[in-house]
Amino acid sequence: MDEQISNTKQGYEWFVEQFKMTTGIDLTYYKRPQMERRLLSLCNKRGYNSFEEYFPVVCKDQELMEELLDRMTINVSEFFRNPTRWETLITRVIPRLYTGQTFSAWSAACSSGQEPYTLLMLLLTLMPISNVSILATDIDSHALDIARRGIYPEKEIDLIDSPMRNQYFSNRGLNKVQIHDALRNAITFKQHNLLSDSYPRNLDLIICRNVLIYFTDDAKNAIARKFAQALKPGGILFVGGTEQIFHPEAFQFKQILPFFYERL
């Protein structure tokens, strides 16, 4: 595989340029070895030996383009992913942020919605829905469509405790469940590229998990800086397992708990 990659280095660079012109997504901000390997294996799976043969075909075929975007974005998500960290969020972090007024949160790179819905269900244990404002964004419009519909395979909610499951999900048949309209309507889902779009302001909480790992260090640092500007002083950034910020003070953050950073 490595030999194959080194033979197509020119090809990947060519592809990155073409991909940016076609989709607006700049892959130079993503760690190259993993991304190149992922996309090259798809290219090979479709029967092409090089990006130069593969990409022109993709551009003329919507399904192949969606498949390529899917492979690029890695949409894996789940409700209550890493449950103990959510427990920490709701028992130790939110109580120090919530003042009894509107609570503003951003689930950045929310994929198909499991993360912002998890947040909302937890917040509702502490505050009325009228006090909650959640923005949930992702670069992938297909994942956002799933998030807006809020329909999931029944097995995805197995790990949610049963009072919550019964309170917020209805059976849709064919082993599917749908999250209630009140929750769907309480979240604003919007397409947003963390690398190039402007960020919201005045937030109490940003959750950004399991996407920073795909970015180069420069891109990650630029995002950390923009997150700091997006938060109110005292606001919290919640990151994923391997996404620690190494010198948090350089970005106006202080680590208060593993995976949680307070904006100074």
Ligand X SMILES: C[S@@+](CC[C@H](N)C(=O)[O-])C[C@H]1O[C@@H](n2cnc3c(N)ncnc32)[C@H](O)[C@@H]1O
Q: Which residues bind ligand X (CB under 6 A)?
A: 73-77, 81, 109-111, 115, 138-140, 143, 192-195, 209-211, 240
Of the pair 135, 211, the CB lying nearest ligand X is at: 211
**Integer Cα distance of 118 and 124 in angstroms:** 10
User: Helix 62-73 crosses helix 32-45 at what angle (to 10 degrees)?
Assistant: 150
Of the pair 16, 139, the CB lying nearest ligand X is at: 139
Q: How far is the CB of 192 from ligand X (least distance, A)?
A: 6
Of the pair 28, 178, the CB lying nearest ligand X is at: 28
Q: How far is the CB of 113 from ligand X (least distance, A)?
A: 9
Per the structure block, which two tokens stand in for 122? Answer: 């937890």
Q: How far is the CB of 184 from ligand X (least distance, A)?
A: 18
Write the DSSP assignment of 184-241 as a string of letters.
HHHEEEEE--TTTSPP--SEEEEEE-SSGGGB-HHHHHHHHHHHHHHEEEEEEEEE-T
Per the structure block, which two tokens stand in for 204? Answer: 């109490």
Closest of 130, 60, 91, 200 to residue 68, by C-alpha: 60
Per the structure block, which two tokens stand in for 137? Answer: 């964004």
3-state secondary structure of 116: helix
**Integer Cα distance of 65 and 73 in angstroms:** 12
Of the pair 132, 207, the CB lying nearest ligand X is at: 207
Of the pair 53, 218, the CB lying nearest ligand X is at: 218
